[in-house]
Chains A and B, each alone.
Chain A
Amino acid sequence: MQLGARAGLKPGGKPLRDHFGDALLEVARQNKKVVVLDGDLGNSTKAETVREAFPERFFNIGIAESNLVGVGAGFAATGHIPFIVSFSSFLLCNAYDQIRLAIAMSNINAKVVGSHGGITLGKDGPTQMGIEDLALVGGLPTFTIVVPSDPASMHAAVRAIAEHEGPCFLRSSRVELPYIYDPEDTPFEIGKANVVREGDDLTIIGTGIMVAAALDAAAVLAEEGIEARVLDLHTIRPLDEEAIAAAARETGAIVTAEEHLLQGGIGANVARLVALNHPVPMRFVGLRDTYVESGDPWDLLEKYNMTPDDIVAAAREAVAAKKAMVT
């Protein structure tokens, strides 16, 4: 994996999930109301950092996601802030109804963390991959949904959802991601997308690992004289309608990039807001209606057309379509 190399980004030093473990430990240290509920994957999700530091606030509920979520809901009712952590696919696919009733419909202060989102968990294969997780959690009114894009925003996002009253979902990843933000000064406001690169010719709206990929693509496009704005859409709900409308109005073309099925992913939601506010040509980078096999993460991104080069190609198309509309 070399995401961020072409954009000159500093390596993250360790996988994003390790940064999640650090961030979780930090909020557990700061707030005694934080409890961690594990689905027996603490060593994979890195939630185990809390087990070591605060064993009395760490509960392995076992390989039983339905009960895991229900117990978490009970914890929230006692004034605690439960972080319910497992693989994204296991939580949302095994315990969707429990998340729906006990958390979303009850509108309680519980945090669901889906680790190993997307296809870049790689070699464990499609049974473990969360390629539909954002669509599923997107089907739950009341949920705030965040997808950090680098180590610094992971820390900021975990802090933000711990402080935010209400149901929250955070997606974590197994891969290493480069630093996009300064850890000492990370802008992260729920619902407010960050412009991480200025540009006027089009906007690339990325989420999660695809923000670094978008910055790589922008570096390549710049060599061709195309200046891309890059928007880090770290919050999937509520969507930053203002930033999306401004991108459409000011740059006239949009590419979305996500590590998720295009069905129900961020591209579809962004397109709805673009259509409402200021229709412009759009292109979509993401997984196209298929499951993905085991493999090296980079090989999989290449095979399924989700690399920086694929974003570059989509951007060229979007810019060409914009020009065709003007003439």
Chain B
Amino acid sequence: MPAPPVLDTPELKEKARQIRLDILEMTTRAGSGHPSSSWSATEIAVALFFGGVLRYDPADPWWPERDRFIMSKGHASPLLYAVLAHAGYFDRERLWELREAGSPVQGHPIQGAMPGVEATTGSLGQGLSVGLGHILGGRLNGHDYHVFVLLGDGECQAGQIWEAAMAGAHFKAGRLHAILDYNKYQETGPIAREMALEPLADKWQAFGWRVDEVDGHDVAALVEKLRAARQREDQPTILIAHTVKGKGVSFVEQDFTWHGRAITKPEQVEKAREELHAARG
């Protein structure tokens, strides 16, 4: 297997900038989608794919011993597609088909529709269970791959997440790793106001998970902590990444009502492009 590229910190930052621009382009062209939920998790995905965390081979996307990345918060599909394209799973031009009739670049991810899309998600709460199944099945196959599941914070309100958390600890799924994109907002408002999750780290700990926290936009720290998560294999891990919803575009960062909206007004598109371009490190 050819080793995936491992970028240094300035290169990772640049990759995150490019992917944010692609997410803007995809959702603006589609006229809908969830750019703000994709931007909050951009550094997380970049660290996984380009920071030497995941073992993968874009030329052999279903290689049985690959590490898995499952996008449980399926509405961040633009981020998933963009990072897969940048990693070489498919041509970047395909990104512009997002949400078009007849295209496999579906509004929310459909398992296997595009290379690297590991699970069908979009009804929230489902990805962690699927990840656990990959771990248990891999054990029977004698494989030692790791599974990383990106969770949204809002979906931690779903019972299935905690069913999977309980089972992950029960089965000592040490190669199962959740990453929480903790941007503090759900569709209708601040999480603390709508349906509070705190004390969140305590909850995961009580369920038997090893918990760590990180600034979810510090890509170097993400790489370090995600690599560290692979080291101990006695219990599942969760990395709570504190993020900013809409990160990178000022007027989206300041307004949660952008949750399910693309940027389509020409002057706003221009401003978003300018800000994301200016973020060059």
Q: Chain A: residues with CB nearer than 8 A to chain B?
A: 35, 56-57, 59, 61-62, 64, 66-67, 69-80, 82, 97-98, 100-102, 105-108
Is B136 a contact of A59 with CB atoms below 8 Å? yes
Is A71 a contact of B129 with CB atoms below 8 Å? yes
Is A101 a contact of B122 with CB atoms below 8 Å? yes
Known A62-B167, A102-B111; further 13 A-B contacts with Cβ < 8 A: A67-B167, A70-B128, A70-B164, A71-B164, A74-B134, A74-B137, A75-B134, A76-B133, A78-B134, A78-B141, A78-B143, A82-B133, A101-B122
Contacts known (A77-B118, A79-B141); A97 close to B134, Cβ less than 8 A = no
Give the secondary structure class of B's interface: helix
8 Å CB contact of A70 from B111, B132, B140, B170: B132
| Chain A residues whose C-beta falls within 8 Å of the C-beta of B126 in the assembled complex | 66, 70, 97-98, 101-102
8 Å CB contact of B136 from A66, A74, A97: A74
Q: How far, in whole Å, are A69 and B126 apart by their CA atoms in the complex?
A: 9
Is A71 a contact of B136 with CB atoms below 8 Å? yes
8 Å CB contact of A35 from B110, B134, B140, B163: B140
B138 near A: Cβ within 8 Å?
Answer: yes
Is B120 a contact of A105 with CB atoms below 8 Å? yes
Is A71 a contact of B130 with CB atoms below 8 Å? yes
Residue of A nearest to B130 (CB): A74
| Chain A residues whose C-beta falls within 8 Å of the C-beta of B135 in the assembled complex | 74
| Chain B residues whose C-beta falls within 8 Å of the C-beta of A105 in the assembled complex | 110-111, 120
Contact with A along B106-144 (1 / 0, CB 8 A): 000011100000111111011111111111111011010
Is B120 a contact of A101 with CB atoms below 8 Å? yes
Chain B interface size band reads 35 or more
Q: How far, in whole Å, are A143 and B264 apart by their CA atoms in the complex?
A: 39
Q: Which of A75, A79, A97, A108: most chain B CB closer than 10 A?
A: A75
List 29 interface pairs A-B (beta carbons < 8 Å), by A numbering: A56-B140, A57-B140, A64-B166, A64-B167, A66-B129, A66-B163, A67-B129, A67-B164, A71-B130, A71-B133, A71-B164, A73-B119, A74-B136, A75-B136, A76-B133, A76-B137, A77-B111, A77-B119, A77-B134, A78-B134, A78-B138, A80-B137, A98-B129, A101-B121, A102-B126, A102-B130, A105-B111, A105-B120, A106-B111
B190 near A: Cβ within 8 Å?
Answer: no
| Chain B residues whose C-beta falls within 8 Å of the C-beta of A75 in the assembled complex | 133-134, 136-137
8 Å CB contact of B167 from A71, A76, A98, A100: A71
CB distance from A146 to the nearest CB of B (A): 24
Cβ-closest 9 pairs across A and B: A74-B133, A70-B129, A78-B137, A67-B163, A64-B163, A106-B111, A71-B133, A66-B160, A74-B134
| Chain A residues whose C-beta falls within 8 Å of the C-beta of B260 in the assembled complex | none
CB distance from B159 to the nearest CB of A (A): 7
| Chain A residues whose C-beta falls within 8 Å of the C-beta of B163 in the assembled complex | 62, 64, 66-67
B74-89 interface with A by 8 A CB criterion? none
B31 near A: Cβ within 8 Å?
Answer: no
Q: How far, in whole Å, are A161 and B194 apart by their CA atoms in the complex?
A: 45
Is B137 a contact of A79 with CB atoms below 8 Å? yes
Is A101 a contact of B123 with CB atoms below 8 Å? yes
Residue of A nearest to B74 (CB): A101
CB distance from A40 to the nearest CB of B (A): 12
Contacts known (A97-B123, A105-B120); A69 close to B129, Cβ less than 8 A = yes
Q: How far, in whole Å, are A100 and B143 apart by their CA atoms in the complex?
A: 28
Residue of B nearest to A74 (CB): B133
